[in-house]
Structure 1
Amino acid sequence: MDAQGTGSTPADEVVRRGGRPRRSSAEVLADAAAELFLEQGYGRTTVDQIAARAGVSRATFFNYFAAKSDVMWLELDAAVASLPGLLDTSTEPSAVRAVEEALLAAAREHDPERVPWAVAQAEVMGIGSELVASVAARVMQQHGAVAAFVAGRTGERPGALWPQTVAGALLGAAAAAFGVWVFDGVSRGPLVEYVAAALTPVAAGLDARSV
């Protein structure tokens, strides 16, 4: 694990010998958290302990993460955060299909070779149901962006029934797929296959309704 020094130079800007950039502060904190979760379990690990193991202050931890559970999801957060951009650049004429394609593109960021450590070691770390709840919350955080996108395509208000229905149905299906993927263990395939299987019937039904 790379620990950030206590000087004024952020870990993000420190360069290792040979010119290789050092891991970011967020990654250092994630590494520290993973070590502690494995050693003593998720429930017994505090934010202060994570910060101390990483060599940073508690305040620095909260510069990068809003809560302890957030430290598990660097890659997922990046993928979910890409959703509005994927929607903005979509040329798919159907709003429903555009959302489906964007969710599939985000899911492709997680393949079996890059399973988040919180998923791979969930049982050992004692994370349990909080893992799935945390994932579902992250996916559903994009509800407003998806509803606004659908509203922009249909001329309705984002808070109207149809944009809200499309956002809730498609994001809910994607979150459910991630939950199943988590609990499938070492036998799991690519996340995108789970998300596709969950989204296909939902998107087909919604798309037929929108025609």
Structure 2
Amino acid sequence: MQTSAGQTAGVGRPKVSSRQLIEDAAAELFIENTYVGTTIDQITTRAGVSRATFFNYFGAKSDLLWFEVDRANDSLRAACAAASATGSLESIRDVILELAAGFDERRVPLALTQTEVMGAADEIVQSGLVRIATQASVFADFLSARGARHRDDLLVRTAANALAGAVAAAWITWARDGIGRSPLEGYVAESVDVIFPGIRAAFESVARGNTF
């Protein structure tokens, strides 16, 4: 098959999206030049895209440290919204584990494995907290709907933040265990199950008319 430039095009090779090109270019440059030493212009030049294309996909350079997590959070938001309408309180655990099981384990977040190499410790802490807060907000919406309580209720907020912390702890431990790590789902299940029985018991107690 000939292209307009007279070159032979690869047969059956999937087209690489602009987003993927940006992500791959950033990963290379962060390790080569450190995170602080890499500019958006350098990323777009390496990727062969414009600045406008960059900002079509990412709001800031720090988003490139967490794009796998951001994708997972998008999926989490959609799955929790669906489960909150039809599922039980227990279904939040099922949603979390299902997403962990479907995560592409070949693309471990750079923020969790290359912190020292990239020289981005402060940025990673700050931007990482934003992602944990995003998850907590999603969990609060679910727990509010299933527990018939306001999302700013103390029980809802406590349970949501506990779940987000458990998920974050599992991700960090999994990522830093290296190439011999077991599947992410196992880490998440172990971490979530530390706190979920307490969440379940608290909501059941409130449903029986007790206060929290």
Q: In which range does the TM-score fall when normalised by the shorter chain?
A: 0.7 to 0.9
- AA in 2 matched with 1:202: I
In structure 1, distance between residues paired with 2:102 and 2:130: 18
Tell me how large the CA RMSD over aligned residues is: 2.5
1:60 Cα deviation (Å)?
2.2
Other-structure match for 1:164: 157
Q: Measured at CA, do residues 165 and 194 of structure 1 come closer, stay the same or move farther in structure 2, by a change above 3 Å?
A: same
Q: Map of 1:54-203 to 2, 5 A cutoff?
A: 54-90=47-83, 91-93=86-88, 95=89, 97-110=90-103, 112-116=105-109, 119-128=112-121, 130-131=123-124, 133-203=126-196
- AA in 2 matched with 1:30: E
Mark the structure with the bigger radius of gyration: 2
Tell me the secondary structure at the aligned position of residue 150 of structure 1: helix
Structure 1 residue runs of 5 or longer lacking an equivalent are 1-15
In structure 1, distance between residues paired with 2:46 and 2:185: 34
Cα deviations across residues 102-137 of structure 1 (Å, max 9, x unaligned)? 222222233644434554554443444644654443
Structure 2 residue runs of 5 or longer lacking an equivalent are 1-8, 205-212
In structure 1, distance between residues paired with 2:147 and 2:113: 41
1:21 Cα deviation (Å)?
4.3
Alignment partner for residue 20 of structure 2, among 18, 27, 30? Answer: 27
Contact 1:80 1:139 in 2 (8 A): no
1:26 Cα deviation (Å)?
0.9
Other-structure match for 1:47: 40
TM-score by structure 1 length? 0.78
Tell me the secondary structure at the aligned position of residue 22 of structure 1: coil
Cα deviations across residues 152-173 of structure 1 (Å, max 9, x unaligned)? 1222211222221221110111
Tell me the secondary structure at the aligned position of residue 115 of structure 1: coil
Contact 1:112 1:188 in 2 (8 A): no
Q: Percent identity?
A: 43
Greater shift in the superposed pair: 194-203 or 128-137: 128-137
1:86 Cα deviation (Å)?
1.6
Instruction: Work out the number of aligned pairs and report it.
Output: 194
